Amino acid sequence: MSNEEEAAAEAAGDTHLLGFSDEILLHILSHVPSTDLVLSVRRTCRKLAALCLDKSLVHTVLLQKDYQASEEKVKQLVKEIGREIQQLNMAGCYWLSGSTIEHVARCHSLVKVNLSGCHLTSLRLSKVLSALQHLRSLAIDVSPGFDASQLSSECKATLSRVQELKQTLFTPSYGVVPCCASLQKLLLYFEILDRTREGAVLSGQLMVGQSNVPHYQNLRVFYARLAPGYINQEVVRLYLAVLSDRTPENLHAFLISVPGSFAESGATKNLLDSMARNVALDALQLPKSWLNGSTLLQHMKFNNPFYFSFSRCTLSGGHLIQRLINGGKDLRSLASLNLSGCVHCLSADSLLRKAEDDIDSSILETLVESCCNLHHLNLSAAHHHSSDGLGRHLCQLLARLCHLRSLSLPVCSVADSAPRPDRAPAPPAMHAVPRGFGKKVRIGVQTCPNPFVGQSASQPASVFWSLLKKLPYLEHLELIGSNFSSAMPRNEPAIRNSLPPCSRAQNVGDSEVAAIGQLTFLRHLTLAQLPGMLTGSGLVSIGLQCQHLQSLSLANLGMMGKVVYMPALADMLKHCKRLKDLRLEQPYFNANAQFFQALGQCSSLQRLCLVSRSGTLQPDAVLAFMARCLQVVMCHMFTGESLTTCKSLQQSLLRSFQAERPALNVVIFPLLHEGLTDVIRDVPMLHLDEITLFKSRVAEEPPNLWW
């Protein structure tokens, strides 16, 4: 900007951007990506040049999901402000080369750095850490080929001062843990596959002789999350063995997330007994087999707990109330509670109860009253059916939790106890709408309630509608069928058959989906296995009213074998201007030109994942969509197309768009192909964990666990 332009801006006062106060301008600039801020905005005029280098903007640099951050931009950024950076988040920057990541060594003032998902060899890691003498917090990956003996003495000196470590393991190893003598927080993510690409079976015995005893004496937080596979369990036992010898006196959070069964050993029993005697926890998560039938909870001590996860445990609600809440103990400090897959957690006794029986509303009422400040609650993957008692429905009781910001519920739990007079019966499968964008043909089906009118006096409000009305600040909502399982599980072949939905889920349809439109601040929405959806008209209500929606996951809506909601989805998408992530899982889905034209109106879209057994796609439509949506950097499609068609389209997309989009990740592959597992292992963890693989994410981890 010239001197004349600056003078004009000053004369214009508050009618021009530069007329705002420095405080307001700094707030605006804080939303600009660091690369744009330093390399572009700073060069527009003298005032912005000064503001862009304000310490509030350059002390913390976030490159995570800055998909436009090319190699040259990152190098130039570090060159210009590297010495000022104190916190640097490069998590998931998989597109940057190791030589570019090495430039982090120039940021000598770094106190906290996240390099998870970045390409780093042992030697490069050693070079980077050797230069960071002030580092106290570190996140890295440990990949095959990692060799701790290659770490220099300067690097080990830096590691000895690190207090927080997040380590993602792709190979059996202790990583840098033995070098970290001052650890207070240890987060371990086990992503080791049971076999190498060549088919060799891995073993935790590879770790023998690698390490010395890890330093746990100052540990306050221990967290371990395991991907499926026996090797991950074998390796985590080696980490736990040290803890069992001597439990850290200041341990406050102990969390282990394990899919499936994880048998107790003598060492783990000793560890739990020691914890019960010597520490008071404020966060707890244990494998289900450690809790089922155990009196452990009765003996554990808690000090103002903020997070509990009893995911997939068979504990009854009676036991939870008795052992955890002591019949109604005040748990106002609890912010996050995960009871996903706890099929009996809302019943007094699990021995005589069937999974489909009605819940004991007094159990839920005690839980709500005791944990009245909950922000995150997960009750998914279970049948929580309410009886006809007045005011005792699950939705009516949950409405008292006015602080909720994220909520995950099974679809059947939000159905009214008795059939509503305003709901038409679900039509038989032969009357469903044909898939695709073709002309709608409906025979003998009554019209659904208009989702845009709301609940009139002549139509009593559903309990779900009333629940959402009481939770206006909800940001994350999941409605997932009790029997839903994604066709694409982790580290296994695709699932060819799925369980039928709960019969009560048939009573949850378009009007309930439309009720979600009340959530003005909604950012993340998941809808899975809603067989009662007839036209998808409620989706349009969400698109119109939920203008902050950033991620949308839809799976198995309507009756299986028929894609009934495509016209409504097309109408919805044109209103989703802030949508960044879309995951769509639906058998027989026809990803044709009309679908991609509608999707092309989502101007902020960055990631797309399509999973469709026996589904089809139009390659020309995909190419046109990618040319129109310039911010899309992830395109994953797993359909019924042939391997030849998939490979051809994938190569065309990479050839056409890789040069302008450095972070572009494209995977087009037949869903039922035997090579799917090998293809999945090459997907960057950032995308695989956040969108490609389906899972419930509410209360999955404690709030603010890391960055």
Tens of pLDDT, residue by residue over 647-662, are: 999 999 999 999 999 9
Of 321-325, 384-388, 588-592, the range with the highest mean pLDDT is 588-592
**Class of the domain covering 394-414+463-491+501-691:** alpha beta
For the CA atoms of 665, 671, 674, 679, what is the dihedral angle to 10 degrees?
10
Sign of the alpha-carbon dihedral angle for 522, 526, 532, 533: positive
Cβ(608)–Cβ(632) below 8 Å = yes
pTM score of the predicted model: 0.91
In percent, how much of the chain has pLDDT > 70?
Answer: 89
- Give, as one character, the DSSP assignment of residue 616: E
Which structure tokens are listed for 513? 């989906």
pLDDT, average across residues 449-467: 63
Residue 38 reports pLDDT greater than 50: yes
> What confidence tens digit (pLDDT) does each residue in 199-244 have?
788 777 656 555 556 778 999 999 999 999 999 999 999 899 888 8
> What confidence tens digit (pLDDT) does each residue in 360-378 have?
999 999 999 999 999 999 9
Residue 668 reports pLDDT greater than 70: yes
Cβ(311)–Cβ(285) below 8 Å = yes
> What confidence tens digit (pLDDT) does each residue in 500-556 have?
999 999 999 999 999 999 999 999 999 999 999 999 999 999 999 999 999 999 999
Cβ-Cβ contacts under 8 Å for 62 (sequence gap 6 or more):
33, 34, 89
Cβ-Cβ contacts under 8 Å for 288 (sequence gap 6 or more):
261, 310, 311, 312, 313, 314
User: How many CB atoms within 10 Å of residue 299?
Assistant: 13
Question: Average per-residue pLDDT in the chain?
Answer: 88
In percent, how much of the chain has pLDDT > 90?
Answer: 72
- At residue 551, the pLDDT reads 98
By CB atoms closer than 10 A (0-12, 13-18, 19+), residue 15 is exposed
DSSP secondary structure of 222-242: EEEEE-SSHHHHHHHHHHHHH
Residue 421 is which amino acid? P
- Per-position b or e across 487-497, b if 16+ CB within 10 A of its CB: bbbbbeebeee
- At residue 315, the pLDDT reads 85
Angle at CA of residue 125, ends 121 and 129, nearest 5°: 175
SS3 (DSSP) at 349: coil
SS3 (DSSP) at 552: strand
Q: Which of 134, 185, 227 has its CA nearest to residue 489?
A: 227
| Confidence band, pLDDT 50/70/90 cuts, at residue 455 | very low
| Confidence band, pLDDT 50/70/90 cuts, at residue 293 | low
Rounded CA-CA distance 531/529 in Å is 6
pLDDT, average across residues 284-308: 86
Helix H or strand E segment including 406: strand 406-410
> What confidence tens digit (pLDDT) does each residue in 62-75 have?
999 999 999 999 99
- At residue 446, the pLDDT reads 37
- At residue 498, the pLDDT reads 77
| Confidence band, pLDDT 50/70/90 cuts, at residue 430 | very low
Rounded CA-CA distance 142/125 in Å is 10
- At residue 70, the pLDDT reads 95
Cβ(92)–Cβ(686) below 8 Å = yes
pLDDT, average across residues 674-690: 94
Which structure tokens are listed for 655? 């050839």
- Per-position b or e across 429-466, b if 16+ CB within 10 A of its CB: eeebbebbbeeeeeeebeebbebeebbeeebebbbbbb
| Confidence band, pLDDT 50/70/90 cuts, at residue 453 | very low
Rounded CA-CA distance 70/429 in Å is 51
**Angle of helix 153-161 versus helix 122-130 axis, rounded to 10:** 70
> What confidence tens digit (pLDDT) does each residue in 572-620 have?
999 999 999 999 999 999 999 999 999 999 999 999 999 999 999 999 9
Residue 240 to residues 235, 256, 268, 424, 433: CA-CA distances in angstroms? 9, 10, 7, 56, 54
Helix H or strand E segment including 485: none
Q: Which of 104, 161, 116 has its CA nearest to residue 136?
A: 161
- Per-position b or e across 122-134, b if 16+ CB within 10 A of its CB: bebbbbbbbbbee
The full set of domain ranges for the chain reads 394-414+463-491+501-691
pLDDT, average across residues 447-469: 64
Residue 242 is which amino acid? V
For the CA atoms of 655, 656, 659, 664, what is the dihedral angle to 10 degrees?
-80
Residue count of the chain: 707
Residue 43 reports pLDDT greater than 50: yes
Q: Alpha helices, DSSP H only, in 98-254?
A: 98-101, 122-130, 153-161, 230-245
